[in-house]
Amino acid sequence: MTDTPAFRRYQGPAGGWGSVRSLARHGLRRRTRTLAALAQLRRQNKPDGFACVSCSWAKPAKPHPFEFCENGAKATFWDLDAGRVDAAFFRRHTVTALRTWADCDLEASGRITEPLRYDAASDRYVPVSWEEAFAAIGRELKAIEPAAAVFYASGRASLETSYMYALLARLYGCNNLPDSSNMCHESTSVGLPRSIGVPVGTVRLEDFEKTDCILSFGQNVGVNSPRMLHPLQEASRRGVPILTFNPLRERGWERFKNPQSPPQMLGGAATRISCEYLQPRAGGDPAVLLGLCKALLELDDAARRDGGARVVDTAFVEAHTQGFDDFVALLRALDWDAIARESGLAPEALRGVAEVYARAESAILIYGMGLTQHRHGVDNVRLLCNLALMRGSVGRPGAGVCPVRGHSNVQGQRTVGITEKPELVPLDRLAAQYGFEPPRDKGLDTVGTVRGVVDGTVRAFVGLGGNFLRAAPETERLEAAWPKLRLTVQVATKLNRSHLLNGEVAFLLPCLSRIERDRQAGGPQAVSVEDSTACIHRSVGVQAPASERLLSEPAIVAGIAEAALAPNPKVPWREWVADYARVRDAIAETYPVDFHDFNARLGAPGGFPRTNGARERIWHTPSGKAEFHAVDLLSATGFDDAPERLRLITVRSNDQFNTTVYGYSDRFRGIEGTRRVLLMHRDDIARLGLAEGEQVSLVGDADDGVHREVGGLRVTPYDLPAGCVVGYYPECNPLIPVAHHAIDSHVPAAKSVPVRIKREVDPRRVPAGPAP
Ligand SMILES: Nc1nc2c(c(=O)[nH]1)N[C@H]1C(S)=C(S)[C@@H](COP(=O)(O)OP(=O)(O)OC[C@H]3O[C@@H](n4cnc5c(=O)[nH]c(N)nc54)[C@H](O)[C@@H]3O)O[C@H]1N2
Ligand SMILES: Nc1nc2c(c(=O)[nH]1)N[C@H]1C(S)=C(S)[C@@H](COP(=O)(O)OP(=O)(O)OC[C@H]3O[C@@H](n4cnc5c(=O)[nH]c(N)nc54)[C@H](O)[C@@H]3O)O[C@H]1N2
Ligand SMILES: [Mo]
């Protein structure tokens, strides 16, 4: 792929013809089986089809004729790739040579089609039979202390696979079950239970039809959950004010043209999404949220003075919350100058938003990585809850807190036991169901795994999907330590960098994609996933598998389990693989409240919802009430400002899904042909004496004595707050210290990384890691 940069301002809306053109280009370039692709797209997110493998946004009960978006279609095309990564591919390329390839080129080589073992002597992957692979993995796992083995999961695997995988780890003897959620919405999973007693959002799709106001913080809807633009568009057309806080002007929150609406595509104007768009500093959200709460309080004071309607929902606050008085005292003591300085926004702007919010009966508060991936990510989530609680905007139609999750089943994986936190799992029930003593010690999360690999205490890594080495922080130390692992096993669909750094014994095991037909001894199989709004959907793949040698993920998990564990007649791995309905029966037995009659309810249009206390104003907190979080905090970064120090935000482009880089077009941001950019405010460029287009390095500025650097970045002026810079994830991950993570949730603080700029003496210097 080329790396010829071009920068042009994109004037179009999100969606629109740009999205149609982009898709057409992808379909052609990717050697996709085009007819197959079109047939598949029609089934995407339909009750009788497959759940999109891209984002986890809710799937409506009455889907559109084409219930997919540009990026969901790219993900489908990606799995339909006609290219093949097989033994012949590895005869052409050594693993060392492949390590110089870009992320995009690795995955673009095609689907992995046969089980492979790494052969160190020839530095190549060589074919292996499934039986041999399982036997060797079982042997190795048996020889390792359970506490030294890690079972990572990326958030794509189904509920059935995830349940089996978590059980495998616990039967083996550990809770080392980190998953991508540890790098993502774990701040939500820690913060929401403390504030409102549920680990997930409280909003369902129907609430968008009833809401009077939408606030959004740090989420990029046009790229990461484009189907959410449909309810947003409808809300905007109803006159619902949408107010957005994001350091960057993300096109999806500005305007949208629905590619599925012929009138709008043929000359109709794009729909304006946000009526107010404010650009706080990265990490400035505590100041924003407290400022909004303070402004509400001022409005409430004025209402009391003038005898107007109260702005604080006093009936709700009294009946349902705890800690309000302390919070009010904190708000009164806050100084507007400090709020303005830390948020980067004028008090008048915040007061203006508060006025709109105060007029709304029911409001939805949406957020994403812009809140969770900070040192104070958990505080961010809790302060957002405060804002909702002051207005009683939880547990009422059209109202609620709406974290937009990432991977298509990341939320569900937690629901069925993939977690390092034993207290979140019904261990006693598992003990009774399967007749064993489950491990009770806390397991390793992502941060713990990185540390354990670096210090040598982790000996084995099994990855159920994902690209751990690229997704995690502290890239260089992690990569340097990785080959010292005894065993690495990667279950994957496509080749990525995590497959190119191997333990002494290493296997690469290819699995079916969710879009593919899954036929087992008991006939064709369906799986299930949980969306962002906690609704459970059936997913049936119908595409012919990329190869006959692929196994399904449940079959791979069962294969490893049978080889690594002592036989246990109460765990019928074989029967489970033959008929996934039996896994669902097991899930229903372990989790009867949410999954009773699982098989009967599977396939309900719109999915079937899990229980959610906060939606009914039942608060599963220690006090039995929703809890205000009175924290005197204005910045989420966890570090002080310093003259040369900048706050690095790492973002996704419109042409990637996490570490899967589809191409080099970040259309909405006007960046084409390259990912090696550093977006900067013009004042910072001038202040630091840089020139537009100059190549610079970013150097970590964490004061921990470790040198971290990413070079070859092109200075690019951009509309963002001064003092903040933007680079792409995963290229910038070498700059994130493993210790720079959210307090309590351990989510790497990827949205405010302390960095400095170093001028490059030699502009040809090549950066660490694969180019570009
Ligand atoms: N097409 C596509 N879809 C995806 C993904 C993908 O990579 N591609 N990834 C999936 C996954 S796993 C996830 S978790 C989600 C991620 O989806 P998002 O939650 O949208 O995550 P990001 O794109 O990382 O960044 C979110 C936004 O936060 C803003 N931001 C950065 N710092 C701050 C801050 O300090 N304050 C505020 N208010 N805003 C800030 C950024 O400008 C950006 O617009 O999307 C999922 N869907
Ligand atoms: N700096 C920075 N770092 C970040 C983030 C950030 O915003 N900034 N975001 C974080 C977030 S939110 C997340 S969720 C993580 C993502 O971390 P991961 O989930 O580990 O990474 P992905 O890029 O989603 O994984 C892609 C790989 O998954 C495999 N795969 C795809 N489909 C399947 C399947 O159906 N089955 C199996 N077994 N494998 C499959 C393919 O081989 C593909 O190469 O990254 C985190 N890292
Ligand atoms: Mo994520």
pLDDT at residue number 27: 65
Residue 165 C-alpha to ligand 2 middle, in angstroms?
Answer: 18
Task: Report the pLDDT averaged over residues 230-258.
Answer: 95
DSSP track, 635-647: -SSSS---TT-EE
Please name which ligand lies nearest the alpha carbon of 725: 1
| Residue 190: band (very low, low, confident or very high) from pLDDT cuts 50, 70, 90 | very high
Share of the chain above pLDDT 70, in %: 97
pLDDT in the model for residue 763: 47
Residue 312 above 80 pLDDT? yes
- How far apart are alpha carbons 116 and 549 in whole angstroms? 11
Whether the CA torsion 399, 400, 404, 405 is positive or negative: it is negative
Asked whether the predicted pLDDT for residue 13 surpasses 50, the reply is yes
C-alpha separations of 640 from 111, 644, 752, 755 in Å = 46, 11, 11, 12
- pLDDT tens digits, one per residue of 520-541: 999 999 999 999 999 999 999 9
Average pLDDT value over all residues in the chain: 94
Regarding pTM above 0.85, the answer is: yes
Q: Give the ligand whose atoms come closest to the C-alpha of residue 281.
A: 1
Spatial contact of 726 and 678, defined as CB atoms under 8 Å apart: yes
- Ligand 2: which residue has its CA nearest to atom 27? 466
Ligand 1: residues within 6 Å at CB? 54-55, 71, 184, 217-220, 223-225, 245-248, 250, 280, 282-283, 285, 368-370, 404, 406-407, 649, 651-652, 656-658, 751
pLDDT at position 28 is 58
695 three-state secondary structure = strand
- Which of 225, 652, 731 should be mutated for ligand 1, with most atoms under 8 A from CB? 652
Label residues 406-442 b or e (16+ Cβ within 10 Å = b).
bbbbbbbbbbbbbbbebebbebeebeeebebebbeee
Cα-based distances in Å from 636 to 350, 471, 632: 18, 22, 11
Amino acid in position 618: I
Reduced to 3 DSSP states, what percent helix, strand and coil does the chain have, rounded to the nearest 5?
A: 40, 20, 45
| Cβ-based neighbours of 11, under 8 Å, separated by 6 or more | none
Distances, alpha carbon 143 to alpha carbons 136, 138, 148, in Å: 11, 9, 11
In the chain, count of helices (H) and strands (E)?
32, 34
Ligand 1 atom 3: residue of nearest CA: 224
pLDDT of 772 reads 44
Which three-class secondary structure state does DSSP give residue 479? helix
- Cα dihedral: 101, 105, 108, 114 (round 10): -10
Integer CA distances (angstroms), 585 to 186, 414, 469, 591, 597, in order? 28, 18, 35, 10, 8
Please state whether beta strands 242-245 and 213-217 pair in parallel, antiparallel, or not at all (unpaired).
parallel
Query: How far is the centre of ligand 1, averaged over its atoms, from the C-alpha of 656 (Å)?
Result: 12
Report in angstroms the alpha-carbon separations of 11 from 16, 253, 254, 270.
Answer: 11, 14, 11, 11
| Ligand 1, pocket-test mutation among 751, 752, 753, 755, most atoms within 8 A of CB | 751
Q: Is pLDDT at 396 greater than 60 in this prediction? A: yes
Q: What is the pLDDT of residue 7?
A: 82
Instruction: Look at residue 49 in the predicted model and tell me its pLDDT.
Output: 87
Looking at residue 764, what is its pLDDT? 46
pLDDT at position 539 is 95
Q: What is the pLDDT of residues 19-29, one digit of tens each?
A: 777 777 776 56
What is the torsional sign of CA 286, 287, 289, 293? positive
Contacts of 90 (CB under 8 A, 6+ apart): 116, 124, 125, 126
Pairing of strands 213-217, 149-153: unpaired
Atom of ligand 1 nearest to the CA of 367: 19
Rounded CA-CA distance 168/177 in Å is 10
pLDDT in tens, 414-448: 999 999 999 999 999 999 999 999 999 999 999 99
Two tokens, residue 482: 């990785």
- Nearest by Cα to 538 from 11, 48, 6: 48
Which range is least confidently modeled, 113-117, 546-550, 760-764? 760-764
pLDDT at residue 767 above 60?
no
Q: Nearest to residue 446, comparing CAs of 425, 423, 463, 430?
A: 463
How far is Cα 166 from Cα 186, in angstroms, rounded to an integer? 18
N residues, the chain: 772
Helix (H, G, I), strand (E, B) or coil at 23: helix
For the cut 60, the answer to whether the pLDDT of residue 463 exceeds it is: yes
Alpha carbon of residue 753 to chain centroid:
18
Compare 6 and 190 and report the one with higher pLDDT. Answer: 190
How large is the angle between the packed helices 34-43 and 70-79, nearest 10 degrees? Answer: 130
C-beta of residue 52 within 8 angstroms of C-beta of residue 2: no
Q: Closest-lying ligand to the alpha carbon of 383?
A: 1
pLDDT in tens, 464-485: 999 999 999 999 999 999 999 9
| DSSP string for residues in 366-422 | EE-HHHHSSTTHHHHHHHHHHHHHHTT-SSSTT-EEEE---BTTHHHHHHTT--S-G
In tens, the pLDDT along 37-81 reads 777 787 787 878 899 999 999 999 888 877 788 899 999 999 999
Question: 3-class SS at 321?
Answer: strand
Within 6 A (CB) of ligand 2 lie: 107, 154, 156, 180, 183-184, 369, 373, 406-407, 464-468, 471, 491-494, 496, 511, 513-514, 553, 650, 658-660, 729-730, 732-733, 736, 750
Q: Which atom of ligand 1 is nearest to the CA of 652?
A: 23
Q: Which pLDDT belongs to residue 22?
A: 78
Q: Provide CB contacts within 8 A for 497, sequence distance 6+.
A: 99, 103, 106, 467, 469, 470, 659, 770
Cα of 157 from ligand 2 centre, angstroms: 12
What's the CA-to-centroid distance between 517 and ligand 1, angstroms?
31
The yes-or-no verdict on residue 765 having pLDDT over 60 is no
Name 714's bridge partners: 677, 695
More confident residue, 311 or 61: 311
Q: Which atom of ligand 1 is nearest to the CA of 651?
A: 24
The first and second tokens of residue 464, run together, are 């159920």
Contact indicator for 560, 137 with CB cutoff of 8 Å: yes
Map residue 256 onto helix, strand or coil. Answer: strand
Helix (H, G, I), strand (E, B) or coil at 476: helix
DSSP string, 423-467: GGS-HHHHHHHHTS----S----HHHHHHHHHHT---EEEEESS-
Give CA angle at 346 (340, 349), nearest 5°: 130
Return the closest-CA partner of residue 646 out of 768, 538, 752.
Answer: 752
Measured CA distances, 707 to 222, 483, 646, 699, 700 (Å): 36, 21, 16, 7, 7
490 three-state secondary structure: strand
CA of 352 to the centre of ligand 3 (A): 32
3-state secondary structure of 257: strand
Rg (the chain; Cα; Å)? 25
Per-residue confidence (pLDDT) for residue 771, from 0 to 100: 47
Q: Which atom of ligand 2 is nearest to the CA of 660?
A: 23
Q: In terms of C-beta distances under 8 Å and separation of at least 24 residues, what long-range contacts does 95-101 make, across chains too?
A: 95/123, 95/124, 95/125, 95/500, 95/502, 96/123, 98/495, 98/500, 99/497, 99/500, 99/501, 99/770, 100/770, 100/771, 101/770
Strand 124-127 versus strand 149-153 pairing type: unpaired
Both structure tokens of 677: 């950019």
